[in-house]
Amino acid sequence: MTDSPRDRPLRVAMIGHGFMGAAHSQGWRVAPRFFELALTPRMQVVAGRDEAAVERAAAKWGWAESSGDWREVIERDDIDVVDIVTTGDSHAEIAVAALEAGKHVLCEKPLANTVAEAEVMAAAATAAAERGVRSMVGFTYRRAPAATFARDLIGAGRIGEIRQVRAAYRQDWLRDESGPMTWRLEKDRAGSGALGDIGAHAIDLAEYMTGLRLDGVSGTIDTIVTERPLLGEKVGLSGTASNELGRVTVDDIAVFTGRFAVESGFRPIGTFEATRFATGRKNALTIEISGSRGAIAFDLERLNELEIFDANDPELEQGFRRVLVTEPGHPYLAPWWPAGHMLGYEHGFSHQVVDFVSAISEGVAPTPSFSDGLHLQRVLDAVERSSAADARWTPVG
């Protein structure tokens, strides 16, 4: 008696833990319980530098075991997938080693801290793909059903020729200048600040929904608070900050315009904002795409909804209308709850697992690819170079 496809395990190792570790663990744990997958993910091992902390994470999130050595984990024969949720400065080393070891790789966004690192990763992914090894970047917001549905409507021509994109990602968790330093404020670990951390999502979602790519930008980035208190030695217990100040080496705010590449005709214009100082905004990723026949708007803080404007409606009846994206026919929705029941932030990570596992089982290239991640890294780099040159127009790449 042979095993059915669902009896075949896909043994997963997650490198790193913390906020993204919890989110990815949720995705791996829940996806096979709601979706019919050709391969069944098995949460084999989670690895991290702090062995005690990673052991607690394994027990809390449902990993079979823990390890303090990611290199040893990657070399194991009982691992098929490596999921990278570490800080950006380690993405390249881990991803390249995993791909060369024949492991499929899922890597959190942005792909790397620099264009040079991203180029090395994309090259390794291309070489690995020739051996049937798959890789993907973790931009989960494109897997919110409403965002995917917006992409489908735009691709079907519902809003006509795209003319303008307005995208912003606004948070306020850094507005208190007495807030302590974290790794996200250190360029050598995070790569960039608001631009790469949350601006990357706005860029990816704009390109995903429109099917177009930015090829030039003009922008300004700046740091609002340049020094912050360093955390005390016992932050894990007390959360106290010391009197010593650390230097913030990343941007707090980024604003830029861009042009999208098209084969002919008008090149659509995009305006982008990324800030962690937007007082009162908690996780406000918004995007509005205007076309010749209509428009579509999405707000992550209302992630089960789309606003749709149809210019063909009678003049006296025109206006944005709210569409609740919770029907079984909407993207990803059928395996979940009855119509009208909402999904949340964590569901995007399950959908990410579904798409990645499906690509592996079908032998096709998943998206977004490492090449897509490299392109986005080049956009981030172009914005930084433009800002350094007084917002001079800067080609991407």
pLDDT of residue 237: 37
User: Would residue 395 count as lying in a domain?
Assistant: no
Q: Cα-Cα-Cα-Cα dihedral of 90, 93, 96, 97, to 10°?
A: -120
Distance, in Å, from the CA atom of 356 to the CA atom of 374, rounded to the nearest integer, reads 19
Q: Which residues pair with 169 in a beta bridge?
A: 274, 285
Record the pTM. Answer: 0.94
Which residue in 51, 53, 63, 70 sits closest to 25, CA to CA? 63
- Is residue 174 within 8 A of residue 276, CB to CB? The reply is yes
Point out which residues pair with 221 in neighbouring strands. Answer: 254
For residues 303 and 340, membership in a common domain is answered with: yes
Please list the rounded mean pLDDT of every run of 10 residues in the chain (397 residues): 61 96 98 97 97 96 97 97 97 98 97 98 98 98 98 98 98 95 95 97 98 98 97 50 87 98 95 98 98 98 98 96 97 97 97 98 98 98 98 96
Nearest CA-CA partner of 165 in 281, 305, 262, 276: 262
> How many structural domains does the chain have?
2
Query: Can you say how many angstroms the Cα of residue 46 is from the centroid of all Cα atoms in its chain?
Result: 20
Cα 239 from chain centroid (whole Å): 28
Say what the pLDDT of residue 97 is. 98
∠ CA(208), CA(213), CA(219), 5° rounding?
110
Tokens (6 digits) for 96: 């390249």
Q: Would residue 394 count as lying in a domain?
A: no
Provide the domain limits for residue 32: 5-140
CA distance 122 to 136: 10
- Residues 322, 199: one domain? yes
CATH code for the domain of 102:
3.40.50.720
C-alpha torsion 352→357→363→367, nearest 10: 10
345 within a domain of the structure (yes/no): yes
Q: Do 79 and 37 share a structural domain?
A: yes
DSSP secondary structure letters along 216-239: EEEEEEE-S--EEEEEPTTTTTT-
My answer on whether 78 and 212 are in the same domain is no
Beta strands across the sheet bearing 213-222: 321-324, 305-310, 294-299, 284-291, 162-170, 269-275, 253-261, 213-222, 394-395
**The residue to which tokens 């706005």 are assigned:** 202
What pLDDT sits at residue 1? 36
Q: Where a domain ends, among 92, 118, 140?
A: 140
Among 140, 172, 202, the domain boundary falls at 140
What's 347's domain CATH number?
A: 3.30.360.10
Token pair in block for residue 239: 């959360």
d(CA 327, CA 309): 20
Rounded CA-CA distance 353/99 in Å is: 18
Q: Are residues 108 and 245 in the same domain?
A: no
Judge if 168 and 183 occupy the same domain: yes
> Within 13 Å and on the Cβ side, how many CA atoms surround 88?
26
Q: What's the pLDDT at 27? A: 98
Residues 6+ positions from 329 with CB-CB distance below 8 Å: none
From 140, 162, 191, give the residue that closes a domain.
140
Tell me, yes or no, whether 290 and 307 share the same domain: yes
- Which is nearest to 6 in space by CA: 44, 27, 37? 37
CB atoms under 10 Å from CB of 286, counted, come to 19
Q: Are 338 and 330 in contact (CB under 8 A)?
A: no
Asked if residue 355 and residue 279 are part of one domain, the reply reads yes
Report CA dihedral (19, 101, 112, 372) to the nearest 10 degrees.
-100
**How many CB atoms lie under 10 A from the CB of residue 36?**
9
Q: Is residue 397 part of a domain?
A: no
104 & 117 share domain: yes
Q: Does one domain contain both 381 and 332?
A: yes
Please indicate, yes or no, whether residues 61 and 148 belong to a single structural domain of this protein: no
**Amino acid 2: pLDDT:** 43
The continuous run of DSSP H or E covering 241 comes out as strand 241-247
